[in-house]
Structure 1
Amino acid sequence: MNRVLIDLEALQHNIGRVNTLMAEHGASWSLVTKVLCGHSESLQALGALGVRSIADSRIANLTAARELKTEFETWYLRLPHMSAIGEIVAVSDVTLNSEIATIEALNAEAATRDKRHGVIIMIELGDLREGVLPGALVGFYRRVFELENIEVLGIGANLGCLSGTVPNIDQFMQLILYRELLELKFEHELPLISAGTSVVLPLLQSKTLPKSINHFRIGEAVFLGTDLVNGGTLPGFRSDAITVEAEIVELREKSLVPVGELSAVTPFESLQTEDEISPGQRGQRAIVTLGQLDTEVQGLTPIAPGHVLAGATSDLTVVNVGGSPGELEVGQSIRFRPNYGATLRLMTNRYMEKVLVPPLGAFMAAHDDGSHAERVPSVLDGLLS
């Protein structure tokens, strides 16, 4: 049986680490839940772990969170699209925006619902993703401030999300200066600068990030512990919050080098180099019931030392497990640690069982003193009426 395992103790640990960093910096944060793909048990667990502010890029995922009747405040991360304005206003408290026509549509929809909708206006700072060009900011904000059902909560940026460039202090200082300019020009407070993501956490840990950057959208660091700047795992974080098990259906000693002429196109590029395998070398090869149809196999790392991905088809993956099978046998499972891309594929896979470890009820019973719920402060308290 193939399963995605979601470790609640590891999640609790990583949420606690982010809470500590935020408290030291004087910032608030929203947990980006895209990787959960609306999985209701996982969302329920986040509520039990004290999470109050979640951010997602899919309407269905935010709808699933709202249906749990938790205290979640909800941020919609993808730029709002005109074809779904009604749904977006219904399920989200805040959206990130870069088009005036879209904000006007959000305003009209919010008016019909007799509510105020929060917006962060995104600024282009070099990642070449969404964002208003700096030279157009004053005119843009002038029009937005005229909308009665829109609450402008601040400014924001996405850095290092598309191009892979590492965010730098100069970019954050630009944001701070733009906010000061806009506040002076319009005599209107912009309480949030939302520019922190998982890629910014190393700057936060080194205490070099300006204090004015006061809202973070954190996902990958919580669910995978990834250090997106230096590689590996962030100091103090756990990388085992999400793992995947795949069942062994064949375990045999075979040649480690294929026989015959290789075609120009191979379905999978082995992670073992020719230097690591000598001609005629043999070893134990395990075939597991997980393939490219299920996930991005190249994004999986076997947890056991010495195990190496050898190849994959749409339905199966082959793992070189060494010279001896050890305690492995057919019917058992091999565990892998997925990267972000592989995790997204696994969680959207309807064939893949998702399991909380331990089960939520058992986890809460083991922490009946309330230690499981290190409450994450709300971002919007006092900001959105």
Structure 2
Amino acid sequence: MNRILIDPLAIKHNYQMVNRWVGDHGATLTVVTKALCGHSGTIAALAGMGVTSIADSRLRNLRDLAESDPGFEKWYLQPPAQSQLEEVVELTDVSLNTELHTVKKLDEVARKRNAVHRVILMIELGDLREGILPGALVRLYNEVFQLKNIDILGLGANLGCFSGTVPSVDQLMQLVLYRELLELKFQKELPLISAGSSVLLPFLLEGRVPGAVNHFRVGEAILLGTDLINGGTIRGLRNNGFILEAEIIEMKEKSLTPSGETADEITPFPVADETDEKDRVPGQRGYRAVVTVGGLDTDISGLVPVDPSYRIAGASSDVTVLNVGDNPGDLRTGDTVFFRMGYSTMVRLMNNSYTEKVIREPV
């Protein structure tokens, strides 16, 4: 039995804090909900918190949202696929774009629907994900500028989302200068620079984000409180919005080292926490708890036991094994163990139909 325990009070706290920081900067906030994988209970909780703008990368989630709560402004977080252009215009208010051909097709679809579709033009600034090469920006902008059913809402960039590079103020200033260039050349205001994200929040708190960066797309920091620059949790945020509960199916005292020859190829999920390996002596024994979450369910390497004395010894496709020392809590089969989790681990669990999702009621 695996359950994700969702604490709406922790999420609300984080949302209110991030929204205040962004507002104090003179910017607006769109909450990235793709990690929720369309979980209706959490989406409803966000609406109750006052969230008005959300972003997702799955059109099915946005369709469900449009049917259940049409009040949200909806952003589509990836460049649209050619096979999904009709749905993008139907279901979303804003999409992120990098290809001229795609934007022209969006214009055709919007014209047939007697609608105007808004776009953010995403610029490549070194993270090497999607983005228009700066040398091609003016030419592409000139073509998009002439489309009658496309409204260019602004410029954007993905920073620290793919290659692991730490964003810089210089990159943000490049976006500001590109906007100034385009506004001067085409005599049309570009309202937004959409470059803020969870990774930029530490910069924001240090006062290092240029004032012209006036739109933030934030998910991970609101849901998990993660500090992607320094590690750990951003000061002032909570890290207990999503907790995994897994059941113990075996508890036994065993050797802490395997017997016989080992081979890396036989270990498909090498996730052992080796922080205490240096203190281990040959023949040492301890209690091991086998719990019900495995590699089939999620990325085990992103699990962190809430009890800091527990260590992950390893995992298979079906189970994870914990070293629990002398078992001071007298854990038994049927008891449960709790884990915090990284973003990748959370996304896979939320998308996993085998994992129950439970909204915790306020006490």
TM-score greater than 0.5 by the shorter chain: yes
1:212-251 superposed matches below 5 A: 212-251=212-251
RMSD: 1.1
Gaps (5+ residues) in structure 1? 367-385
**1:101 corresponds to 2:101:** yes
Deviation of 1:91 after TM superposition, in Å, equals: 1.1
Structure 2 distance, partners of 1:248, 1:281, is 22
1:315 aligned to 306, 318, 324, which one? 318
**1:136 corresponds to 2:140:** no
Which residue of structure 1 aligns with residue 40 of structure 2?
Answer: 40
Which residue of structure 2 aligns with residue 169 of structure 1?
Answer: 169
Which residue of structure 2 aligns with residue 348 of structure 1?
Answer: 351
SS at match of 2:88: helix
**1:332 corresponds to 2:335:** yes
Deviation of 1:126 after TM superposition, in Å, equals: 0.9
Deviation of 1:133 after TM superposition, in Å, equals: 1.3
Structure 1 distance, partners of 2:42, 2:24, is 28
**1:288 corresponds to 2:256:** no
Deviation of 1:325 after TM superposition, in Å, equals: 4.4
SS at match of 1:152: strand
Which residue of structure 1 aligns with residue 268 of structure 2?
Answer: 267
Structure 2 distance, partners of 1:185, 1:163, is 33
CA contact (8 A) 1:284 1:325 kept: no
Structure 2 distance, partners of 1:321, 1:92, is 48
Which residue of structure 2 aligns with residue 77 of structure 1?
Answer: 77
Structure 2 distance, partners of 1:330, 1:7, is 26
What does the per-residue CA deviation read over 1:310-358, in whole Å, with 9 as the maximum and x for residues that have no partner? 1111111111111124242211110001101101110110111001111
SS at match of 1:331: coil
**1:277 corresponds to 2:283:** no
CA contact (8 A) 1:2 1:353 kept: yes
CA contact (8 A) 2:269 2:295 kept: no
SS at match of 1:322: coil
AA at the equivalent of 1:51: V
AA at the equivalent of 2:40: S
AA at the equivalent of 1:326: G
Structure 1 distance, partners of 2:127, 2:227, is 19
1:305 aligned to 300, 304, 308, which one? 308
Structure 2 distance, partners of 1:182, 1:70, is 34
Which residue of structure 2 aligns with residue 87 of structure 1?
Answer: 87
Structure 1 distance, partners of 2:232, 2:340, is 12
CA contact (8 A) 1:47 1:70 kept: no
AA at the equivalent of 2:351: T
AA at the equivalent of 2:285: R
Structure 1 distance, partners of 2:312, 2:269, is 10
SS at match of 2:295: coil
What does the per-residue CA deviation read over 1:53-93, in whole Å, with 9 as the maximum and x for residues that have no partner? 00011111111211212411100011111011011111110
Structure 1 distance, partners of 2:264, 2:71, is 54
AA at the equivalent of 2:222: V
Structure 2 distance, partners of 1:272, 1:181, is 52
Structure 2 distance, partners of 1:264, 1:130, is 35
CA contact (8 A) 1:283 1:322 kept: yes
Structure 1 distance, partners of 2:21, 2:43, is 23
Which residue of structure 1 aligns with residue 113 of structure 2?
Answer: 113
1:193-204 superposed matches below 5 A: 193-204=193-204
AA at the equivalent of 1:161: C
Q: Percent same amino acid among aligned pairs?
A: 55
Structure 2 distance, partners of 1:57, 1:328, is 41
Number of residue pairs aligned between Structure 1 and Structure 2 = 360
CA contact (8 A) 2:269 2:317 kept: no
Deviation of 1:128 after TM superposition, in Å, equals: 1.1
Structure 2 distance, partners of 1:130, 1:267, is 31
Structure 2 distance, partners of 1:7, 1:317, is 24
| TM-score with structure 2 setting the length | 0.97
Deviation of 1:46 after TM superposition, in Å, equals: 0.8
What does the per-residue CA deviation read over 1:101-146, in whole Å, with 9 as the maximum and x for residues that have no partner? 1001111111121111110001111111111111211111111111
AA at the equivalent of 2:45: A
CA contact (8 A) 2:34 2:57 kept: yes
